[in-house]
Amino acid sequence: MMNNTPKIAVFAGSFDPITVGHSDIIWRALPIFERIVIAVGTNSQKKYRFDLDQRLAFIQATFAGEPIIETATYTGLTIQFCRSIGAQYLLRGLRTSADFEFERTIAQLNKQLAPEIETIFLCSLPQYSHISSTIVREVLANGGDISPFVPPAVGGMIE
Ligand code: ADP
What value does the mean pLDDT of the chain take? 96
Instruction: Return the ligand 1 atom nearest residue 121 CA.
Output: 14
Which protein residues touch ligand 1 with a CB less than 6 Å away? Answer: 13-15, 19, 21-22, 25, 92-95, 99, 124, 128, 131-133
Cis before 152? omega within 30: no
As a whole number of angstroms, the distance between CA 50 and CA 113 comes to 31
Residue-wise pLDDT tens digits, 88-103: 999 999 999 999 999 9
Q: Above 90 in pLDDT, residue 4?
A: no
Q: Above 70 in pLDDT, residue 2?
A: no
User: Cβ neighbours of residue 145 under 8 Å, at least 6 residues apart?
Assistant: 139
Per-residue burial over 49-77, b = 16 or more CB atoms within 10 Å of its CB, e = otherwise: bbeeebbbbbbbebbeeeebbbbeebeee
Residue-wise pLDDT tens digits, 40-75: 999 888 999 999 999 999 999 999 999 999 999 999
The pTM for the full model equals: 0.94
